[in-house]
Structure 1
Amino acid sequence: MVAKPGHIFDRDWEWEALTSFATGAQAEVAFGVVSGRRRQGKTFLLKNLAEALGGFYFEATEGTEIELLRLFGMALARHTGSPVGYPFADWRDALTFFFSLPRDRPMPLIIDEFPYLMKANPALPSILKQEIDLRGRTHGGTSNARVLICGSALSVMGKILAGQAPLRGRARLELVVQSLPYRDAAEFWGVSDDPRLAAMLHAIVGGTPAYRDEFVLGDRPTSAEDFDGWVVRTVLDRRTSLFREGRYLLAEESDIRDPALYHSVLSAVAEGNNTWGGIAGHIGYKSSDIAHPLNVLEGCGLLVKEKDAFRSGRTRYRIAEPLITFYQAIMRPEWTDLGLGLGEEVWRRSRQRFLSKVMGPHFETLCREYALRYGREHFGEGGIGEIAAGTVADPAAKTQIDVDVAVLGPAYPGEPRTIRSLGEAKWDKVMGLRHLERLRRARDLLSAKGYDTSGTALACYSGAGFDGDLRAEARKDPAVLLVDLPMLYGQA
C-alpha cells in the first residue's frame, strides 16, 4: 500500500483503488478509467498519485490535434528530463513512446480531460486500444505501464467502455469519483457539531470539495446564526467564484447547444415540477419535445431520474448538484439585482423561498441517503433493494399518500416485495401523530396490494423535532422510528 498524503481528506477507498491499480504486479500493461462530475477532486487525486509514484501526468485542453500533440510531447519531455519537446508525427507515434516510459517497475501514466483529445481526434480510443493490445498478455506483456484516462464529461466518458466501443473489455479499473457523503461533507467544512447548519450548508454546496477553498477562499459559516451572513458574502456576492458557478456548470457541458432551453428545464425541476409532464407544462413545450434535453442533462449527470417506489412507469427528476438547484430557485430570478451587488436585499426576500423550494426537497434527499448509508440497523435483517420516494393511492379517501423515504427489500421473483420502512420528512415542521397515522394508512394499503409489511418501520424524519404525543407513541410502538437532525448526523 502507498500511504495516502495527509492533505487529502477522506477518499480512502478511492486512493486504495488507484494505488492498487498503479502498483499491480502483473507484467503486462493495465488500463483504467476515472470519471465523475466536475469539482469532485479527480485531478487532485491523480496528481497526487503521479507524485507519490513518480508517474507521468498530462492534463489536456481544448485545441487542435497538432497543438495537443505538441503539448503532450512537451509534457513527456519535462517528465523524462529532455531539454526539448518530442516532435511526434501522430498519436500512434506518441503512444508508442508513452508506453515505453516504465521499464523496471509499474508506473502510472495519466491523461486527464481525455474527452478533449477525443474531440480533436475521434479515432484516439481505437489507437489506444491497439497499443494496449500490442503490449498485453497475449503479446508477452512488453510494458508495465498503468494507463489511466480521466474526464468530467460524463456523457463522453460513459461511452468509452460501453457497447461496441473500442476500449470495452480492456479496463481493469473503472472508478467514479462521487461527491462526499453528507456526513463527510459536514466534517470537511468543519460544521459536523452543528447538524442544522450542516444540512443547510449541504443544500447549497453539497459534497463538492472544491467549493470550500478554491471558490470561497476558506470562508466557512461559524454557526447556524452566521449562515445568512455566509450566503450573502459568498454565493450571492458577485465577486466570488461561487457566484457564477451555477451557470458555468451547465455551460461547460459540450453536448448542450441551447443553454436557454436547458436552464428552463432545470428551473422547472427546481420549482418542484419533477415529472415529464410537469416539466413540459412549466416551460410551455409538448411532452414529446423535451425528451432530448432531459436525456442530455441526465447523460451529463446534472439530472437524476428516479422511479416511483410504488407506481410502475412513473418517474421523477431531481437535480444532482445542489448548487444548481440553489441557482435556479434563488439566484436566476434575481440575477439583475444580484449583478448590482444587492445580495443582502435579495436574500432577505428569498430566504423563505429557500426553505420551501430548496431546503425542504433537499432534506428529503438527505433522509434517503441516511436510510441508504446508516439506517440499516433500524430496518431489520435482509438487504436493501431500493430507496426512493413513492406514491400510494388511497381509493377510499380519493387521494394519494406521498411517501418521502420508502425502503424496499430486494425483488425476488415469485415472492412478495418486502417494505423495510416507510418514511415522511419535514424540514421546518414539528411532526405529530397525524404524520404517523398517514404512514400507517400507507402501510395498510400496501399490505392489501400484496407487499410484505410485517416488519415495516414507520419513520418520521424532522428538522424541527416531534411533539410529545408522537414521542410517547414511539416509546410504545417499536415499529415507530423518529430521526431528528442529531441522529441524521450520527450524534445520537
Structure 2
Amino acid sequence: MAKPAGMFDRDFEWSELVRFASYSGSEATLGVVSGRRRQGKTFLLDGLCRAEGGFFFAASEATEAESLRQFGAALARFQERRAPFRFAHWEEAVEVLMSLAGPGGRPLVVVLDEFPFLAKASPELPSLLQRALGPQARREVGPVRLLLCGSALSFMGSLLAGTAPLRGRASLELVVPTLDFRLATQFWGLTDRRLALLVNSVVGGTPAYGREFVLGDAPVDLDDFGPWVLRNVLNPGRPLFREARFLLAEEPDLRDTALYHGVLAAIAQGNHTRGGIAGYLERKSTDLGHALTVLEDTGMIVREPDAFHGKRSAYRIAEPILTFYHALMRPEWSDLERPGRAPAVWERSQATFRSKVVGPHFEQVCRTWTRWYADPGTLGGHRSRVESGTVPDPTAKTSHELDLVVFGRDEDGRESLLAIGEAKWNDVMGLGHLHRLEHIRTLLRARNGVQAADTRLLCFSGAGFTDELRALAERDPAVQLIDLDRLYDGQ
C-alpha cells in the first residue's frame, strides 16, 4: 500500500499500520496509536482510512449523549444511510461498530481518533471494547481493525497497562514520535547547519510547527533567524505564540497548571535536580513528587539518571517550544502581548536564549547523535547507554559536570566507560577544553568500579576548533572532534 503523497518520513509507522490493516484473519483486532500533539497521527490514520476505505471518527470534547449523536451521524454517512443512527448508550454503538466489515466481508479499518475524549465522558467504553474483543464475542463481531488514537499520553499509556480492561487485547501499540534533529532539518528544507540547529532549538521536530503553524515560513539564512522568530514565535497573531500554554491546557491530568508551569520554568532556568526545582519554587522537595510524575507521564519532561550516581537524576524538558516559552517568553509576557514590543524583548533576551535555550538543546542533540548516529570506531566500541554525569574532585573540593558519558559492554558483558565529552555551542574549543576532559578522565580512572583505561574524549562545538586542537586530534584517535557538519551528516 503506497504511502500518501505529501507524508514526510514515517516509513516505519506507515508500514506497521499497513501490516495491521492487512491482516487477513476473520477476528476483530485492536491497535493503539499515541504520541504528543501535532506529530501527524491524524494525518497517518486518515491516510490509512482513505487507502483502505475505512471509517474514521474524530471525537470532540463533549457529553456522552452528544458524542453518541456525533458518532451515529458519522457512521450513517459512512454507510450512506439517509437517517443517522440513534444510539441510547455506547453498548449499543459498540455492538454495531464491531459488526462492520468491508466489501465481501473483508477486514475494515475503523479509527476512533481522540479516544480519551470519548472515554472521559463514558468511562465504561474501554470495558465495552474489551468484551467485544474477547474470545466469547468473536463469533458476533466482524473483521474490524479497530485503532484507538489519542494525544493524552498519560491516558493512552494506561490504556494497555496493569489491570486496565484492554490489557493484552492489542496487536499494535504504536507511538508516533517527534522528528529528530536530522529529520527535522530535512523537513524544514534547511541546508545551513547552524541555522538548522537554531530553528530546532525553538520548535524541535514537531511537523505541524513547520507547516500549519507558520504557513511554510522558514528562515532563508542566519540573518533571517531573528526576524523569523519575531514573525512566527513572538508574534501574538500567530499560533506558536500561545502554543506552550495550550500544550499544558490540553492535558486532562494537569489540573494545577500554575504549579506545572512553575516546575517547567525552574527546569528551563537551569534547575535540573529535584532539590534545585524545589528551591526555585520555594517549596519542599517532597511536595513536587506528584507534579514531576504527572509531567513525566504526559511527556512534558524526561528524567535522566546521573551516569555515576544511581540515586541522582536530572529533569529536562522534552519539547523545545516549552523551554523557549518558559526561559524567554513567560518572564516577558506582558510586554510581548503588546504590539511592537517583541523586537526589544528579543534583543535583550539574547544572552538568555544562548545560555538557557540553545546551549542545553545543543548538548541534548549531541547526546542524541552519540546514542544513535556515532560509529563504534568513533566511540571505541559499541555503546550501551549515553547519559550526562557529575564527577567529584576531592582534592579541589569541587565537582565536574560532563555533558556526555558513553558506556559500552565487551564480549563478556562487562561494562566499560567508552567516552566522555563536552559540548559548547558558541565557543571555539581548544586545548583548554581538552585538558579539562583529560583531568576528569584521570579522576575516573582512579575510581573503583569504573573501567576507564581506554576512555575517549569527545569535543562537540557549534563554533569550531582551534588549529592546535585539530592537529592533536589528527594524531590521536582517542580525541574526536564533532562539528555541525559531522553532527548532521557524519558518524
TM range (shorter): over 0.9
Question: Partner of 1:108: helix, strand, or coil?
Answer: strand
| Residue 335 (1) aligns with residue 336 (2) | no
With over 3 angstroms needed to count, the CA separation of the structure-2 counterparts of 1:62 and 1:77, relative to structure 1, is: same
Spell out the pairing of 1:124-143 with structure 2 (5 A cutoff): 124-134=125-135, 139=138, 142-143=141-142
Equivalent in the alignment of 1:169 = 168
Q: Which TM-score applies when normalising by structure 2? A: 0.96
- Asked if the contact 1:77/1:85 (under 8 Å) is kept, the reply is yes
Secondary structure of 2:158's match?
helix
CA distance in 2, matches of 1:368, 1:169: 35
The structural deviation recorded for 1:418 is: 1.5
In structure 2, what is the equivalent of residue 376 of structure 1? 375
Provide TM-score, normalisation by structure 1: 0.96
Q: 1:437 aligns with which of 435, 438, 463?
A: 435
Residue 107 of structure 1 is matched in structure 2 by 108
For the residue of structure 2 that corresponds to 1:100, the secondary structure is coil
Distance 1:114 1:222, change over 3 A: same
Cα distance per residue 1:429-474 (max 9 Å; x no partner)? 1111122122222223323323223443210000011111111110
Does 1:195 find its partner at 2:196?
A: no
Corresponding residue number in structure 1 for 2:293:
295
Match of residue 150 from structure 2: 151
Who is 2:81 aligned against?
A: 82
Give the paired residue count.
Answer: 487
Cα deviation for residue 415 of structure 1 reads 5.8
Answer yes or no: is the 8 Å Cα contact 1:29–1:141 preserved in 2.
no
Please name the residue that 1:390 is paired with: 389
Q: 2:416 maps to what in 1?
A: 418
Partner of 1:122: 123
The amino acid of 1:337's aligned partner reads D
Q: Which residue is equivalent to 2:445? A: 447
Relative distance call for 1:88 and 1:140 in structure 2 (3 A) is: closer
Match of 2:240 in 1: 242
Equivalent residue runs for 1:220-299 within 5 Å = 220-299=218-297
Identify the residue that residue 206 of structure 2 maps to in structure 1: 208
> How far apart, CA to CA, are the structure 2 residues paired with 1:343 and 1:83?
54
Q: d(CA) in 2 for partners of 1:480 and 1:204?
A: 31
CA drift at 1:386: 1.6
CA contact under 8 A between 1:40 and 1:179: conserved in structure 2? yes
CA distance, structure 1, for counterparts of residue 461 and residue 219 of structure 2: 23
SS at match of 1:489: helix
Change (3 A) 1:382 1:480: closer
CA distance in 1, matches of 2:380, 2:469: 26
Cα separation, 2, equivalents of 1:31 and 1:248: 30
Q: Which amino acid aligns with 1:198?
A: A
- Are the counterparts in 2 of residues 29 and 135 from structure 1 also a CA contact under 8 Å? no
Q: 1:134 to 1:383 in 2, by over 3 A?
A: same
> How far did 1:58 drift?
0.6
**For each residue in 1:226-255, what CA deviation from the matched residue of structure 2 results, as whole angstroms up to 9, or x when unmatched?**
101101111001111111111111111111
Which position in structure 2 is the counterpart of 1:325? 323
SS of residue matched to 2:349: helix
How far is the alpha carbon of 1:420 from its aligned partner?
A: 2.1
Q: Percent of pairs identical after alignment?
A: 52
Residue 172 of structure 1: CA displacement?
Answer: 0.5
Letter in 2 for 1:462: S
Could you tell me how far 1:170 is from its partner in structure 2?
Answer: 0.8
Q: Is the 8 A contact 1:384 1:409 kept in 2?
A: yes
1:203 Cα offset (Å) = 0.4
Distance 2:439 2:350 in 1: 34
Counterpart of 2:245 in structure 1: which amino acid? Answer: R
What is the CA deviation profile of residues 80-115 of structure 1, one whole-angstrom value per residue up to 9, with x for unaligned ones? 111111111221211111112214212211001111
Residue identity matched to 1:481: Q
Mapped partners of 1:209, 1:457: distance in 2 = 36
Partner of 1:8: 7
Q: Deviations over 1:166-215 (max 9, x none)?
A: 11111111000000011110010011x21000000000000000011211
SS at match of 2:386: strand
Q: Who is 2:485 aligned against? A: 486
Output the CA distance in 2 between the equivalents of 1:4 and 1:368: 31
1:70–1:88 CA contact under 8 A, matched in 2:
yes
Measured against aligned partners, the alpha-carbon deviations of 1:128-166 in whole angstroms (never above 9, x if no partner) come to 000011577xx4585211110011001111110111111
Structure 1, unpaired ranges of 5+: none
- Report the 3-state secondary structure (helix = DSSP H, G, I; strand = E; otherwise coil) of the residue aligned with 1:203: helix
Q: Could you tell me which residue of structure 2 aligns to residue 345 of structure 1?
A: 344
Question: 2:475 aligns to what?
Answer: 476
Task: Give, as a single letter, the amino acid of the residue that structure 1 aligns with 2:194.
Answer: R
**Which whole-Å CA distance do the structure 1 matches of 2:215 and 2:31 have between them?**
33
Amino acid at match of 2:226: D
User: How far is the alpha carbon of 1:416 from its aligned partner?
Assistant: 4.3
Name the CA shift for 1:76/1:134 in 2 (closer, same or farther; >3 Å): farther
Deviation at 1:378, TM superposition (A): 3.5
Task: Name the structure 2 match of 1:32.
Answer: 31
2:100–2:143 Cα contact (<8 Å) kept: no
